[in-house]
Amino acid sequence: MTNISEAAALLRMFSNAKRLLILHELMAVSELSVGELAETVGVAQASLSQHLTKLRAANLLCARREGKHV
């Protein structure tokens, strides 16, 4: 049953159009700062941070901090 639950959770991650766009943009250029990604995707940084938190929790991406840039 765990595999089905995990699959359902992963599908919920992909059911959001903004999260798909975020993943698409990151796959295209490999790495962007949060500010650059927010501008590219067209969402507020607060909204983007919530999406990124969910994607990191699902192990779909990782974050790297360099100075003040995440």
Q: Which residues, including other chains, have CB under 8 Å from residue 31's CB and lie 6 or more apart?
A: 64
User: Which residues, in sequence order, are bridge partners of residue 66?
Assistant: 69
* CA-based nearest residue to 51, from 1, 13, 7: 13
Which residue would you say has higher pLDDT here, 63 or 8? 8
Domain ranges, ordered by start, for the chain: 2-57
**What fold characterizes domain 2-57?**
Arc Repressor Mutant, subunit A (1.10.10)
Q: Which pLDDT band, with edges at 50, 70 and 90, does 65 fall under?
A: confident
Q: Which residues, including other chains, have CB under 8 Å from residue 61's CB and lie 6 or more apart?
A: 23, 26, 52, 55
Query: What pLDDT, in 10s, does the model give residues 20-50?
Result: 999 999 999 888 889 999 999 999 999 999 9
Mean pLDDT value across the chain: 88
* The pLDDT value given to residue 63: 79
Structure tokens at 17: 């159009």
The predicted model scores a pTM of 0.80
